[in-house]
Structure 1
């Protein structure tokens, strides 16, 4: 019986050397450790925002805007440099990229832990974003170069499960640390983990790079960085100002889109492009990156406000809030590594569309949450969300990565993560703006009894209203503030669910069914000798 042929949409890659193949699972473990701290630390911050907003010595006394920039400075640098860092990893070596990124991330973490002001925290978070930008795409690129094609879906499933697990256990870790140590411990905990990861990486992870990178496309790299930074900055400003029509928001957004358009046009004409835009002509590739952007748009927006719902409305501690996300973590751990089995049986289209529908259902459930929703209902909703995510991320990541040859794995990983980050930033900004606008409209009429000097501040957010109420002894504002937030959360939840539903339609329309599923294993190809790719 003849061996199956490789998928026509995916280039055939050289085989993995035997010495590397034997230690592939140990390498994946090191990659997961590196990935865990980068993703986990960002999710830790979601439960620490209330503590950091507290006056010294408990916190830094950060304002709402400063808290947003503590999150967004990381996002801005991370998203802006992802594509460039992926290209540099392909050219100069993914192991070098990982080591450099971890060192910078560890240094930024130590500096952030001992920040003396909100401004310092924002700056040090940007340093962490720089390190993370080199770590994240390199982990997936190395994975693609140590696993054979037929094992890549399983490895990517574990990788994607690690991302979801880190997002979920970050709040739990943050809650434990905040209950026993000062707020800076959520950053300082990264340092010993980074040191362990560096030692294991130097020992186990093989170097890999594009063997024929050609001339470096300096203009293309520069345009990609400038365009992404402008676009993400404008998105963040829009969320911060709760308006996308102000010049300070419109100008960077439109400028970013213009620069990215120029980047695409330039790449189409370049004889040594940083990005081969022809990949986007493949419906599977385009649908996969769109699905990633849409699901993180919906999910990150809800993640941002759910911390305030659990802690400020429900009164849970940071640790309790984190523990409520355990069902999401467990679903990721159980289902993400096994998603490939569902794809093999039902096809990527059915599995991903069902996953997006489950995410939409979970997000829509927030529209029915109130101040007395039973804990078991919330846990069930998080379980549904985690299960849906576990059946989206591995198949779409496989679709993206197996479209490109191994030597371009860094670029492919960077595309995957760039769309995820831009989608997430848009979600926080746009859905955050919806939440803020509805809340302000709801609470405005209840602030008439307050002194005129504090009305504007009190109407900015739930936390601001509760802080003013506590300071002035206006306890009668607490219940209306909670209700206004719940009303705003319900509107935002419907918007999030709608975005996830659009994602379900996109993947149902363009991802392949079982018969045309990408990633047909190339088992027939003989393994290369150990020296073949040294």
Structure 2
């Protein structure tokens, strides 16, 4: 059988995919620095601020599987372009929002656009690159993802300071337009062979995932034993079990659960989820440490995350070369082990730690992420048949979204509990639950105690996360397959 000729525009297509991913990643990060201004300009209270973020997460997580199935059925480029157009329009509307309620609604609409774009980007990548080049393409894509995550807060600080909070949404519009034009001009269409739709599976997945992520998001506020939390979790479990049962019995399942029988797919997927749990906790804990404990400004705190981005980008390039020689399983396990070491170093930081100690810990973390993520993604997506590329990518995206939310919920609760227990019993109640409130009281002794308590809580949280990521490394080593000879894949494409 003759080898299929690679798409001559594949590297230009990768640029479009990276651009599409970048606009989504940056948007989700730049908003964090706009919160104080939103409180002032829109009169948003703490619940409004929470839902401005949660509306986006809920709609994205709830629709990812359905969006991936739609992209396989109706065309990955088409669905991605529709998602970009919707995301750009919602961003334009969000920039002119006159109230918190309007902004929450537009953020939910942006989440719909994000859900349509995300599965398409990775699924298109695996259909235009063959097995020999896919690792390099995945490494580039992962580097852009990290640049967006780290660069978002820095860009957000500049935009909010110079142009107001609406600019953090307006910046999305020209990027989305450029990505749409480039996609139409350069990107081939690809889709799966025709098969029947699965409307019941789509409804069950949307309801189950939305309620599950909602329960996870509310967990730090309500607690695990609260009736509302238990009700949400029970509904999510029942609906998702019904979804799994239906998908195994219907003749044309939206999500082929048989994918999890492949050791590379299941091992890579769960390793990425556990890593996302850790990364979600890192972002939550470390940004507070930099600002509340070390006294950095939001812009300085964002700049301190640059070592992660640089280390990840440089290591991605190395990982793309080494992965071909030693295999995805070893690369993933080694990378996750290094990430665990990075968390352990973060756990050793104190209120007196200097820039070198902080940057060194972050660099180690970035090196590990640069080795592990491209290898795990490559293993996972190599196991997905081309006809399920969209929904396979969506499964990965959904689990990582849930993992990130779970990390913030669980590790945030661990941090809060340890901070409270480490604070003096005589401290005012608000100061015992929030380091921000403790510092706002202006008491030097109380501020010192709060910084020490937060550092102690962060150490326990980071050590727990290190153990979690180390477990992910062991899981990857035991479950994922060793090096195998890749099988050529075919796709149905329209150029």
Distance 1:111 1:353 in 2: 44
Distance 1:201 1:162 in 2: 18
Q: Is 1:463 matched with 2:436?
A: yes
Distance 2:105 2:433 in 1: 24
> Counterpart in 2 of 1:520?
486
Structure 1 residue 412 displacement after superposition: 1.0
Deviations 1:327-366 (A, max 9, x none): 1111222222442321222222221111111111112222
> Counterpart in 1 of 2:16?
30
Moved more, 226-235 or 358-367: 358-367
> Counterpart in 2 of 1:240?
221
Moved more, 297-306 or 157-166: 157-166
> Counterpart in 2 of 1:309?
289
Distance 1:118 1:434 in 2: 30
Distance 2:10 2:325 in 1: 26
Whether contact under 8 Å (2:92, 2:169) holds in the other structure is yes
Distance 2:293 2:134 in 1: 43
Structure 1 residue 63 displacement after superposition: 4.5
Deviations 1:26-59 (A, max 9, x none): 111011001001012212234444x347x525xx
Q: Is 1:173 matched with 2:155?
A: yes
Distance 1:237 1:86 in 2: 27
Structure 2 stretches of 5 or more lacking a match? none
**What is the RMSD computed on CA atoms of the aligned residues?**
2.4
The structure 2 residue matched to 1:76, chosen from 58, 78, 84, is 58
Q: Is 1:272 matched with 2:252?
A: yes
> Counterpart in 1 of 2:266?
286
Distance 2:317 2:126 in 1: 16
Whether contact under 8 Å (1:230, 1:256) holds in the other structure is yes
Structure 2 residue matching 1:244: 3-state secondary structure: coil
Cα 1:65–1:483 change in 2 (3 A) is: farther
1:191-270 maps to which residues of 2 (within 5 A)? Answer: 191-212=173-194, 214-241=195-222, 243-270=223-250
Structure 1 residue 475 displacement after superposition: 5.3
Distance 2:450 2:352 in 1: 15
Moved more, 115-124 or 345-354: 115-124
> Counterpart in 2 of 1:320?
300
Q: Is 1:494 matched with 2:463?
A: yes
The structure 1 residue matched to 2:319, chosen from 339, 342, 359, is 339
Structure 1 residue 136 displacement after superposition: 0.9
TM-score by length of 1: 0.87
In the alignment of these two chains, the number of paired residues is: 495
Q: Is 1:507 matched with 2:488?
A: no
Cα 1:73–1:23 change in 2 (3 A) is: same
Query: Relative to total residues, which structure has the larger helix share, 1 or 2?
Result: 2
Distance 2:193 2:219 in 1: 42
Distance 2:211 2:398 in 1: 14
Whether contact under 8 Å (2:64, 2:398) holds in the other structure is yes
The structure 2 residue matched to 1:40, chosen from 22, 26, 38, is 26
Cα 1:302–1:227 change in 2 (3 A) is: same
1:364-513 maps to which residues of 2 (within 5 A)? Answer: 364-443=344-423, 445-448=425-428, 455=429, 457-467=430-440, 469=441, 474=443, 476-513=445-482
Structure 1 residue 521 displacement after superposition: 6.1
Structure 2 residue matching 1:392: 3-state secondary structure: helix
Distance 1:184 1:497 in 2: 38
Deviations 1:190-212 (A, max 9, x none): 12211221221221122111132
Distance 2:216 2:19 in 1: 31
Structure 1 residue 257 displacement after superposition: 1.8
Distance 2:493 2:158 in 1: 48
